[in-house]
Structure 1
Amino acid sequence: MDVLIPKKKWWFVARWWWLGLLVLVGTGVASIYWPRPGQRLHVAASRLTISPVTRGNFQEFTAIDGVVQPLHTVYLDAAEAGTVQQVLVEEGATLTAGQPLLRLANPDLQLEMVNRETAVYDLMNNLRNTRTQLLQNRILRQNQLADIDFQLAEARRVFDTNQVLYDQKVIARQDYLQSQNVYRYQLRRRQLTQQTLHQDSVAMQQQIEAMQESVQRITSNLALMQRKMADLLLRAPVGGRLSSLAAEVGEAKTRGQRLGQIDALAGVKLHAAVDEFYIARIAAGQVGEVVVDGQTYTLRVTKIFAQVAKGLQIDLAFTDVPPPGLRRGQTLPIRLALSAKAPAVLLPKGGFYQQTVGNWAFKLGADGTRAQRVAIRLGRQNPNYYEVLAGLRPGDQVVTSSYESYADQQELVLDNHQP
């Protein structure tokens, strides 16, 4: 007869005991290698950027891009409307002052010019005819005056003779009085003729002067028309390089339309846009620097444009001889100073600032294998450095790369072998 043997339970208890021991060991291992807040974290050294804290001159500046432009630019506008008849130069040509650039045709202006010339010639002919006629009238009046002088002299002779004869009782009183009246008539006649001659001379002079003024006015108008005709031939007002010329044969141009521009060959400047954040800190005379082919050149702000469009627009000129070989439109990086240089403790900029806002950082220990979290205080900044106010000293090594993966850690253990 079979007997029921009771099942032993010790193997069940042993199984759970070994399972708990395994969990405990795994938890201990994880506590060492798995990052948790407030603990150290092993990090590959190759993934970190370590920068030294130094002492040097700190200066606030902003990095901007400057576009090379000629120091002086002269724009070419159409002084008169017309159709492009001939283009005499090509873009990029080097010009001398007064050199012809292009020729316009304007038939209406040419017709008006002919009419003005005809009017001037007609007026000048009328002036000559009037002057000739007035001179002839003057000669006629002078002939009349000469005839009256002759008759007056004869009447005076007869009157003087009759007066002597009348005193001697030789002639009758009637003859004496008749000769006296004739003399007085000729005398009065001469006075009137002389007065008329004087008035004619004055009137003739006034008429000639009025016609001369008319000739001068219409001649001035003719000279103006001649200048307008000359404006149909566009000339270079200054010497330089023709950087642009917008004209094709047969194309109609209106008065005042922009045709091109000439860049002066003497000197260049840089035109740049500064972020609106710095508007209050930009002033004429402010200093900047630009590096070209490894050499540093000093710039100075010469002009600040009143209109703010896509930032504050400024012009900068070289304080000394500009770099050779600069071309219009070339872009150069500029460091525009916002403050004077002053001694300070400097920390290179890096991605750590996004997580710490400058309140703390990981500083390496003396052996360089561990980085402790330390409180710091940063001040001003420029595109390259932060100004350190507290927490760091020159010679310290700081992790400046991003802390995004370990912002909650207190210590970083640098592993030089971990990839």
Structure 2
Amino acid sequence: MDIARPELKKRKRRRQYIIGAIIVAALASASVGLYALGPAVASVDRSSVLIDTVKRGELLREVRGPGTLVPKEIRWIAAETAARIEHIVVRPGATVQADTVILELSNPEVESQLLAAKAAVTAAQADLAAKRTDLKSKLLDEQSALALARSSYEIARMQAEAEKVIADKGVIAAVQYKKSLVMLEQLKGRVSIEEQRVVEFGQNITAQIAAEQARLDQLVGACNLRQRQADSLHLRAGIAGVLQQVPVEEGQQVVAGTNLARVARPNELRAQLRIAETQAKDIVLGQPVKVDTRNGVVEGKVVRVDPAVQNGTVQVDVDLTGALPAGARPDLSVDGTIEIDRLPDVLFVGRPAFGQPDSEVRMFRLDAATGIAARVPVRLGKSSVNLIEILQGLRVGDQVILSDTSAYDQHDRIRLK
């Protein structure tokens, strides 16, 4: 028969209680440890992110933008009159001089107007010469009348002086002497009138000649205009350079003002850069520029900043002060870097993908010992093309991730492996 042993049952229950307590304690300890560890740490491949070290020193502020080389001097040559394109003498790409004929045009009406203008000038010149001769003859008549009046006055004066002597002696009557005096005064007045007439006629001659000369000058100006229009039918380059465009065809009819050819000086180029409007606020005239032509870097300086914004960019004109490399030509694509400022003795780091100047961001700072990168608040200052100033949040030697980390916005820490 079986013998009841209650002490064994108590011992077994005690052992179960102890094991249960141990399991509960282990679970509690594990829970505390997991809570202390926090959320799971995401792992990131170190080679997939860009890491830079915070440094202290001089920060060179620069802005960069693409652009093209354009001629400093470009001349569009337009048609002065309506005309027909007869012959294209020189094709685009050719080197031309100022007097090189590019196009031959025709307009019979212009040639007819030139002949009429020349005839009018010739007639006006003949009229002016005839007018001068006629007025000169009339002036001589007036001067002759003045001379006759003066001689009559002198004769009357001498007669009056002679009659005065003999009238005082009673040889002639006093009345006769008085008549001579009256005649003398009359002739004196006539002399004064003739002198005034000669002066006024001389002034009239000047006015008439000036009027005829003005008419002649007007006709000469019209003739010169017609001559220039006729000469423009032989379209010339006007400057030495390279013919870039001839946007017309032989046989084409064009109206006055139509652009017929474009000539540029290929050796005098400037760069036109397109700078993002957010970066153009600090650009001023005279700032140094480095223009990369893909075949060498040329020094330059800012000479103009367009006040308008087009498609989110501002046009900046740069005069090149250095020698152009071989292969530089108009419309060549270039990159320009403008030096804005130099900040001495500041903290700086590579420009992060998500950071803007004068803003506060949260960046991942790397702990080299553990390989864990934790988010820290960082205040950014002024920026350059690839660098940005650190105002607060980092120290010299800190390593931070510059790559876009928006995929880990829900994590405060990531592990680099």
2: CA distance, partners of 1:216 / 1:293: 64
Structure 1 residue aligned with 2:128: 124
2: CA distance, partners of 1:336 / 1:205: 72
Q: Which one of the candidate residues 318, 338, 350 is aligned to 1:336?
A: 338
Structure 2 residue aligned with 1:141: 145
Q: State whether structure 2 residue 286 is matched by structure 1 residue 289.
A: no
Deviation at residue 345 of structure 1 after TM alignment:
4.3
2: CA distance, partners of 1:345 / 1:240: 48
Q: Secondary structure at the match of 1:328?
A: coil
CA contact (8 A) 1:287 1:337 kept: yes
For residues 74-104 of structure 1, give each alpha carbon's deviation from its aligned partner in whole angstroms, at most 9, with x where no partner exists: 45455x4342566665444444456565567
CA contact (8 A) 2:78 2:260 kept: yes
Question: How many correspondences in the alignment?
Answer: 363
Compute the RMSD of aligned alpha carbons.
4.7
2: CA distance, partners of 1:152 / 1:390: 122
Residues 1:93 and 1:200: Cα distance change in structure 2 (over 3 Å): farther
Q: State whether structure 2 residue 273 is matched by structure 1 residue 272.
A: yes
Structure 1 residue aligned with 2:14: none
Unaligned stretches of 5+ in structure 2? 1-37
| Superposed counterparts of 1:6-405, under 5 Å | 38-40=39-41, 48-53=48-53, 55=55, 57-77=58-78, 80-83=80-83, 89-97=90-98, 105=107, 107=110, 110=114, 113-114=117-118, 116-117=120-121, 120-121=124-125, 123-135=127-139, 137-138=141-142, 141=145, 144-145=148-149, 148=152, 167=171, 187=184, 190-191=187-188, 194-232=191-229, 233-234=231-232, 238-246=239-247, 251-254=253-256, 258-265=259-266, 267-293=268-294, 295-310=296-311, 311-342=313-344, 343-347=346-350, 349=352, 358-361=361-364, 363=366, 365=368, 371-378=371-378, 379-380=380-381, 381-385=383-387, 387=389, 390=393, 394=397, 396=399, 398=401, 400=403, 404=407
Deviation at residue 212 of structure 1 after TM alignment:
1.8
CA contact (8 A) 2:75 2:264 kept: yes
CA contact (8 A) 2:375 2:413 kept: no
Deviation at residue 179 of structure 1 after TM alignment:
6.9
CA contact (8 A) 2:121 2:220 kept: no
Deviation at residue 211 of structure 1 after TM alignment:
1.6
Residues 1:224 and 1:274: Cα distance change in structure 2 (over 3 Å): same
Deviation at residue 303 of structure 1 after TM alignment:
0.9
Deviation at residue 210 of structure 1 after TM alignment:
1.0
1: CA distance, partners of 2:190 / 2:158: 17
2: CA distance, partners of 1:333 / 1:121: 63
For residues 111-157 of structure 1, give each alpha carbon's deviation from its aligned partner in whole angstroms, at most 9, with x where no partner exists: 76247415623531441342243045247536855985798599779
CA contact (8 A) 2:363 2:376 kept: yes
Residues 1:326 and 1:377: Cα distance change in structure 2 (over 3 Å): farther
Deviation at residue 411 of structure 1 after TM alignment:
4.5
Unaligned stretches of 5+ in structure 1? 1-36, 168-172, 415-419
CA contact (8 A) 1:289 1:335 kept: yes
TM-score under structure 1 normalisation?
Answer: 0.65
2: CA distance, partners of 1:392 / 1:151: 122
Residues 1:409 and 1:274: Cα distance change in structure 2 (over 3 Å): closer
